[in-house]
Homo-oligomer: A and B are copies of this chain.
Amino acid sequence: MATLQDLGVAAAINIISAFIFLLVFAFLKLQPANARVYYPKWYLKGVRQGSSRGDERGSLLRFVNLNYKSYLHFLDWMRDALRMPEGELIAHAGLDSVVYLRIYLLGLKVFVPLMLLGFLVLVPVNVTDSNIQTGKIFGTDIDKISLTNIREKSPRLWAHVVMTYVFTAWTCFMLFTEYKTVARMRFQFLAAEARRPDQFTVLVRQVPLDPDEPISTHIDHFFRVNHPDYYLCNQVIYNANKLAKLVKKREGLQNWLDYYQLQFQRKNTERPMTKTGLWGLWGQKVDAIQYYTDGINQISKEATVERERVLNDDSSKLPVAFVSFRSRWGAAVCAQTQQTRDPTVWLTEWAPEPRDVYWRNLSVPYLQLTMRKLFITGAVFLLIFFYIIPVTFVQSLANLEGIEKKLTFLRPIIEAKFIKSFLQGFLPGLALKLFLHFLPKLLMFMSKIEGHLALSQLEVSTSAKYYYFMVVNVFFASVIAGAAFEQLKTFFQQSPSQIPVILAGSIPQKATFFITYIMVDGWASIAADIMRIKPLIVYHLKNMFLVKTDKDRENAMSPGSAGFDTVFPQLELYFLLGTVYSIITPFILPFIIVYLAFAYVVYRHQVINVYDPEYESAAAFWPHIHNRIIVSLLVEQITLFGVFAGKRAAASTPLLIGLPIMTIVFHYYCKNRFEPAFRKYPLEEAMSKDIVDRATHPNWNIKTYLQNSYMHPVFKDSEEEMD
């Protein structure tokens, strides 16, 4: 167990390393050559322009910033990041990003008062008692200022009961106002938005096939009859997954062609050669430019044939369509109602915005969805509780002796003393590190199999899976100490009344561990995040080997997005830690607060200057965030039950029963009050937007506007190419 001093040292190390990261970042971002890495958003907006490569005009200044003054203000980006007002930020980066940043603010709003109260009320109460000093139990400095130091049956516990109610009430109050604000922001955002195809469009699934008429006509007839005054047109969806693959393959070849052409252009002496085998490593040697040009032509031909086939073959039409209406009111009605007796056909839901559609999954048969969901749920369950088994297996394979035996030619290298000891320390962890690195991608892959139709849904679904993984394998695994599947056994074989006791037994002892975790995983990782090491390297590599035109350079930027699928779970885990420890060990709160404040500044900077979100869901993810904070409250309350029972506080323990009831009632209240705002589009809103639209653009031709709005991007690409 760590003393306060140990923690202080750890904090100092982490703060210093974070500071070094920030210095490096400040230096890197001031170099003009890196501008497209650190300010891509402004290039995409067209505010910044021009090439940052100086080969045409040749000047050192285009690469390196020699103005020493600018280095003096190396922390100004923080001030700049905080300066942009929220309204402007919504216009600049969209509502999703702004609401995402508000989660950090919410954390501060919740935890700062909790910390103040904790240090003003609970710490003095704890520190003046003497459970540890009297030697009844063993404890560290941190335990002395936490609930552990309260003696059994002490009347001081009343302070904790009162504070628990105050904390819960404050958290709920903050959650409530935040939910209300986000719901209001969402409606304002939707109301203020420009005209967009998805406002008029409904996604219809499970169109029943009619042997007598083509699918498009069938849809036409159905909606003409059942929505006579509002129906406008429909866009049938083609199964273009094969075509998309071809186009993607062509893009890959095009990259190689560009690379060799650039090489040839620069050296100007001999034509570059390549090998026809895998990754250009094996096989016959051929002229590279010729080889890739041929390949591209070949695939282009295939793509053209496939494109014709898809567009003309009836069997490639999916029983899915985007159906558009004359007014937003008509679309809102269709999306919210049931069309026929059989609730498994003619299913209507709001269409995601065109960018947000995940086209591949439109071809998933609807009736498979339940089975897919079930299968993935089972797989995620296994992954969460038993992932450690394959990892351990790989670790056991990856020992040095095994590798030496199989790959004998490596023996001289491995036997070198220094390398051997390094590998022996490094290899066992490698499998786990690799697994954890690829975990979000694996979970995203699983979510894709589940069959979600929009990228926004995919990210939310992945974030849920990742959250469960972290709660079980970071939180409970540290608390209960043991592999996840052993926890499962513990929980299943204990009576429900024992669970709070188990939690109470170990949670207070793990406070120092989690404080260290917050510093290493939280503080340091944010500081590393802002440096954008990977995009920096990738951009410069691309710039070196692939970029020929300014448009190529535009494409070489990879602004990325906030990555809600991994960012939300991490944040939610910190909320869980903060809530669970707020009463037991308030000393953890300042560390979380530092994390939240620091992350808020850093990610606000990234949102303003870097990220380019792939879609805009108007904060549709908020209910998930809210629900998980509610769960954190419940975990806290169950733990406190156990702690109080352990302190034999017979008088005060029953009072705690009010907390989960209060929390659950609050949850349902919020659900009823606010969740519909994120799921439905009220008719009044639709109607008022329609009325304004009709008044301002009486002659607007909606039909041409919507004609090709929902076209598979692969067709758009090939159309552009043909132009």
Contacts and interface: CB of A to CB of B under 8 A. Distances in A.
A313 to B, nearest CB: 30
Interface stretch (A22-30, A96-104, A641-649, A670-678): A670-678
A668 B336 CA distance: 21
Contact of A338 (B226, B343, B683): B683
Interface in A230-266: none
A642 to B, nearest CB: 15
A374 interface: yes
B492 A685 contact: no
B333 A684 contact: no
Q: Most chain-B CB neighbours within 10 Å: which of A183, A341, A684?
A: A341
Interface string A330-358: 00110011111101101000000000000
A179 to B, nearest CB: 12
Interface in A600-645: none
Contacts of A672: 343-344, 370
Given A333-B333, A492-B496, A341 B677 contact: yes
Contacts of A493: 495, 497
A684 B346 CA distance: 11
A356 to B, nearest CB: 22
Interface string A486-507: 0000001111111000000000
A332 B337 contact: yes
Given A493-B495, A495-B493, A495-B495, A687 B226 contact: yes
Interface string A436-470: 00000000000000000000000000000000000
Interface string A671-707: 0111111001111110100000000000000000000
Interface string A167-184: 000000000000000010
A665 interface: yes
A158 interface: no
A344 to B, nearest CB: 6
B333 A682 contact: no
A340 B682 contact: yes
A374 B495 CA distance: 26
A476 interface: no
Given A229-B229, A374-B665, A668-B370, A684 B496 contact: no
A74 interface: no
Nearest to A498: B495
A676 to B, nearest CB: 4
A669 interface: yes
Nearest to A330: B333
B333 A337 contact: yes
A225 B673 contact: no
Contacts of A668: 370
A187 interface: yes
Contacts of A227: 683
A229 to B, nearest CB: 7
Contacts of A676: 338, 343
A130 B341 CA distance: 55
Q: Most chain-B CB neighbours within 10 Å: which of A343, A344, A494, A672?
A: A343
A182 to B, nearest CB: 13
B497 A341 contact: no
A339 B682 contact: yes
Interface string A218-229: 000000011101
A337 B496 contact: no
Contacts of A338: 336, 676, 680-683
A680 B226 CA distance: 16
Contacts of A680: 337-338
A685 B338 CA distance: 10
A311 B673 CA distance: 33
Contacts of A226: 683-684, 687
Nearest to A494: B495
A319 B414 CA distance: 83
B225 A337 contact: no
Contacts of A187: 341
Contacts of A370: 665, 668-669, 672
Contact of A495 (B337, B340, B492): B492
A687 B337 CA distance: 13
Contact of A341 (B337, B492, B685, B687): B685
Interface string A51-92: 000000000000000000000000000000000000000000
A673 B684 CA distance: 31
A496 B491 CA distance: 9
Contacts of A497: 492-493
B343 A677 contact: yes
A336 B336 CA distance: 7
Contacts of A687: 225-226
Contacts of A665: 370, 374
Nearest to A493: B495
A497 to B, nearest CB: 6
Contacts of A337: 332-333, 336-337, 680, 682-683
Interface string A298-342: 000000000000000000000000000000000011001111110
Contacts of A673: 343-344
Contacts of A498: 495
A226 B686 CA distance: 9
Contacts of A669: 370
Contacts of A339: 682-684
A528 B339 CA distance: 47
A338 B333 CA distance: 9
A187 to B, nearest CB: 5
Nearest to A681: B338
Contacts of A341: 183, 187, 677, 682, 684-685
Given A333-B333, A338-B680, A341-B677, 9 more contacts: A229-B229, A333-B337, A340-B684, A341-B682, A343-B674, A344-B672, A346-B684, A374-B665, A496-B496
Q: Which 6 A-B pairs have the closest CB atoms?
A: A343-B676, A338-B680, A336-B337, A340-B684, A338-B682, A493-B495
16 contacts: A183-B341, A226-B687, A336-B336, A337-B680, A338-B681, A339-B682, A341-B682, A343-B673, A343-B674, A343-B675, A343-B676, A343-B677, A370-B669, A492-B495, A493-B495, A495-B498
Interface of A: 183, 187, 225-227, 229, 332-333, 336-341, 343-344, 346, 370, 374, 492-498, 665, 668-669, 672-677, 680-685, 687
